[in-house]
Every structure is written in structure tokens, then in C-alpha cells.
Structure 1
Amino acid sequence: MRYVEKAKKIAKKKGIAFTHISTELGKSRGYLSEMLANGRDLPEHMLADVASLLGVAVDDLRGDSENEKKPTAQGDGRRERLSKLSYEDLLLLQEDVISELRKRGQK
């Protein structure tokens, strides 16, 4: 999840208007909403200001929660193992995963 998406979620939960956060940052009222709509994200240097306006820690925007910090036992090293596969092997794996997902979707 992007920082701006987390900020939106927190703002909504706390009843803080996203337009208010935008203007307090010295930006246009639609600045953050445009980021959401256009697939952009908050730059790192703005996280502290946004977090402060939302009354949360920067880690809350970064997603450094206990649940996200702890990898699952099954997920340990998965990305590293995938990075060692050839392009062709990744394509084959992708086909297998898609096939399995289709099977499970039909049950």
C-alpha cells in the first residue's frame, strides 16, 4: 500500500479531511487526492509532516507495524529464491500459479 493510501485511510478513520492535510502542507486542496488518482505517492521528505498532521508516527505511514515486519515462516527467503530463477523458469512458474488459481476459483 502506498504512503498516500495509508494516509487517506488514517485521515478517514480520524475524521480529518484530506483537503485539510493538503492545504496544511502548503499544497493545493486536491494535491493528495490527485496523487491517489494518478498512482503517485508521497515523497519520503513529506512523511514526517503528514504523520504529524494526522497525529501518528511516521512508521504508521511506512507500514512498519509488527504484522508487516514479521515475515511468515513460509515466506522467508521466497523472494531471494525467485530472484535466482531464469526468465524462462519464472514464466513456467507463472503459468503453474495461474492454473492453480483457476482451479481453486472453480471450487
Structure 2
Amino acid sequence: TLAQHEEAIRGIHGYLQGVPINEEMNALRFRMGMVEEENASLSGNIKTMETIDTITCRQEKRARMELKQQLTSVQESQLQDQEKFRKLQEFVTSQLGRHS
């Protein structure tokens, strides 16, 4: 009868709205929790990588500055050596000129 069909439809409708939807909601909440944890973990990894990158950049900058200072020091030393050699050449030339 019509009343039985309506009752059956209400029962099916209640079933469809009840347990499976609650189970699906729980499953979705669980997956959402897992995704949030993974997101937090990835965010932590990104921050760690950014920190490592920052430290690496600082170390590279410091190393470049040290290399520039060393190069400048070597160049200055080379100029001093050239000047000393020039003076030595002049001295030897002047001494040879005297003894000739």
C-alpha cells in the first residue's frame, strides 16, 4: 500500500542519511586530520630547508669575503715583492756601473 511504500522510503532515506553518511564523515575527518598532519610536517620541512639555505648563503658570503681579503693580501704582497725586486735590480745595475 501507499503507507507501506512511504514507510519504506522513509526507512531507506533514514538509512541513507544515517550510518553511511556518519561513517563517511568520520572517514573524511580522519583523512583531513592526516592531511593536516602531513601539511604541518611539510611546513616544518620547508622552514628547515629555508633555515639551511639562509645559513648556507651566509657561509658562502663569508667565504667570498675571506677569499677577496686573501686575494687582496696576495696582490699587495706581490706588488711589494715587485717593488723590492725593482730596487734590487737598480742597486745591482748601479753597482755594476761603478765597477766597470
Same fold (TM over 0.5): no
Greater helix share, 1 or 2? 2
TM-score range for the pair, normalised by the shorter chain length? under 0.3
TM-score normalised by length of structure 2: 0.22
Bigger radius of gyration: 2
TM-score normalised by length of structure 1: 0.20
